[in-house]
Chains A and B, each alone.
Chain A
Amino acid sequence: MNGRRRRRFPYAALVGGLLSATASIAAEEPPASQQNQDLELIPPAAQQSSMPTAGHGKTAAGPQRLYVEDAVTVSSQRDDLVVAAPLPPNFNWQERLFVDARRQWDIDESSHLFYSDRLNLRAENDISAPDHENAINDLREAYISFEPLIRTYFDLGRINLKSGVALGYNPTDYFKARAVVEPLSADPTVLREDRLGTVMLRAERIWQGGSVTAAIAPALHAASPIYTNLDLPSFDPMLDRTNAQSRMLLKGSVNIAPDFSPELLIVRDGNVTKLGANLTEVVGQRVVAYAEWSSSRQTSLIDDAWRFGRQTGTLPESAPRPLSDDGHESFVNELAVGASYTLGTSVTLNLEWHWNAAGFSSSDWNQWFAVGRGRSARDPVTLELWFIRDYALDQQELIGRHAIFFRADWVDVFVPKLELAGLVDVDPRDGSALLQFSADYYVADKWTVGGLIIAYAGGRLSDFGSLPQQGSALVKVIRYF
């Protein structure tokens, strides 16, 4: 016997270890069959690849859009107003048929023609037919654009020049006054679409890291009285609304830091100079914070309205001034601060606070109700009180000092292609609110059906609760071409 005990090499352990490692790797591999089950989720109609062929994916040039929309609205009025509403009352029902076109023609690579127009055919309980009020044409835009140098542009014609980063109120949107025409919705995002451009010459230069825009809009027509639902011109560019005073605008933005490019604006509007700024910032994955500010030396909304009423002849020279105001000028700040929040993969929420230092103070509101209470609808004082509120609406200005705005947008609700939107515009002074709920269902690529409900809620002595309209409901169908 070999008395020497041989030391055994642990090859069994080695082989065992290798086998174990192999087994371990095999165990970590996910079962491929499980992955292959996902293939069953591909719809049979989408099983076959549509391999690209010649011409596949070719694109049409230009952002063209043409649609016909039919909308029926019914509205209800209040009959217990503290301040009697001016006559005639708002319509009870309205039927509108639109032909809405937005076209672009390319003259050559650097010259383009733009055209945007909406023809309205309408019938209402308070418009007899046939009448010129049955047909109204809104020429929103018509201009020619040149690019003589790379990214240097000159545009001439009627142009919708808009500014602002907020959703519910845009203090820096200096061409918004009087431009909104017969909107169907109270949603600010829709109001921006239903508005007339201003005749102007615009120049813009864009370079890497910034841009600058200058615009000159001459006065082409005398200012006209505020239009009502019943005295709109049929086929008229309505330059009296958009070019009643000369305006000059200069705005620019520079990329100060990555993803941060504030916009600064200066405007000469008649005899008033206004300064403005727009800021936005992304906060995390879901939040965009923004602020919009404008400041100018001017009088209050009440004084502005009173002056405009006299200028256009709506208010006689001898008209009383039912709301006392000193008429002096001061620096007036307007502000919109807010944020959007994206919830999941289908909901976007916006919350904003609006401030207009020129708007009604609490004492102005108290005075408005106290002076108007008990007067008839035809009383000159009543007419003047309502004129101030109509003026604020026509100018797209806040009538109160503060507002809280909330909007929610929900896409693919319950079923694909159903979009719901709701907004609340609250006057925090009295808690009254404008509420709107809308639904749009994109039935097919070229068809949309929808509806909306608007309600003006609040007490009799509140901002929204004192309006003659109580609410309205609308249904619509749209066919795109």
Chain B
Amino acid sequence: MRFRLDPACLAIVALLGATCVIARAAAEAPTAQEIVMATDRVRNPGEPFRLTVTLTEYVAGSERNHDRLVVFSKEDPGTRQFRNLIQYVEPPRDAGKKVLLDGHSLWFFDPASKISIRISPQQRLLGQAAIGDVLTVNLAADYAPTVSGTETIKDAARTDRNCWHLDLRAANDQAVYNRIEYWIEQRSFYPIKGKFYSDSGRLLKILYYRGFAEQLGAVRPTEAVIIDAVDTSLATTAAFGDYRFQEIPDAWFQRDYLPRLQIQ
């Protein structure tokens, strides 16, 4: 007896098969929120920590200015957002300046004037190497992400990376940028690239992560290249080093503690 396969049956089998594959893939594929949370974990240790950020500014291709800052970061379990304390170490004219960034509580302390001035969220973006670029942030806490698709793009070392391309829209008024395009490598969840937009939709900055290395128990990016998209002759590299887990009491995150903050 010869078994004959009807074309209609074939199509049905194919359809069922395809549906199963798609359904299974859909079941396994992480959601946009899960992707962003996973890449947050790549960038940020789960315990309170400090690190040193060395910023090198380039103007028209030439190395120009250097900043060095120590950043103390601790996740707020209520909001899942990071609270940050920043102290400038270099250049000499800025040494000792400190910034508190904790939700809407944003303060700037200058040891020369010995006074703390409250700053607006927008002031995090002032200047070429802005405070907003060295903050420890959980993107998942402040942005509503959607997956735009998948792409193979080249990373900063010009190596192909298979990425999810995500579109992140500010979900609350603590988000530093209004919109971010983000490329995250599939499987590893390494952040590869970001594009940051203003409220008006203007592209402000392009960022590439690189130098992935073991830091505080996980592989994390140890450097970022930040390109000023408004004036493309300007670029900044941010090197993240001297990572340390550190106990950071909640009492540190207030204006009056800023003058007392000591880098040991």
Contacts and interface: CB of A to CB of B under 8 A. Distances in A.
A322 to B, nearest CB: 37
Contacts of B223: 49-51
B227 A253 contact: no
Interface string B176-187: 000000010000
A64 B111 CA distance: 10
24 contacts: A9-B11, A29-B149, A30-B151, A30-B165, A35-B153, A39-B156, A41-B232, A42-B208, A42-B227, A45-B62, A46-B56, A46-B63, A46-B237, A62-B96, A162-B115, A193-B112, A208-B250, A258-B104, A285-B121, A288-B120, A345-B130, A345-B198, A346-B126, A412-B128
B75 interface: no
A308 to B, nearest CB: 26
A444 B64 CA distance: 7
A261 B153 contact: no
A204 B255 CA distance: 13
Contact of B61 (A45, A153, A416, A445): A45
B155 to A, nearest CB: 9
Given A341-B120, A448-B93, 5 more contacts: A62-B262, A67-B92, A109-B264, A213-B256, A416-B64
Interface of B: 7-8, 10-12, 15, 18, 51-54, 56-59, 61-66, 68, 70, 87, 89-93, 95-97, 103-106, 111-115, 117-123, 125-128, 130, 148-154, 156-158, 165, 173, 183, 193, 198-199, 204, 206, 208, 210-211, 213, 222-223, 225, 227, 232, 234-235, 237, 239-242, 249-251, 254-257, 260, 262-264
A286 to B, nearest CB: 5
Given A11-B7, A59-B242, A207-B251, A189 B113 contact: yes
Interface of A: 8-9, 11, 14-15, 18, 25, 28-30, 32, 35-36, 38-39, 41-46, 49-52, 56-67, 102, 106, 109, 112, 150-151, 153, 160-162, 164-165, 167, 189, 192-193, 204, 206-211, 213, 253, 255, 258-259, 261, 280, 282, 284-288, 290, 340-342, 345-346, 348, 411-412, 416-417, 442, 444-446, 448, 478, 480-481
A316 B239 CA distance: 66
Contact of B52 (A8, A58, A102, A285): A58
A29 B95 contact: no
Given A36-B154, A253-B255, A282-B121, A480 B51 contact: no
B156 A49 contact: yes
A206 B254 CA distance: 9
B54 to A, nearest CB: 6
B52 A59 contact: yes
A30 B70 CA distance: 38
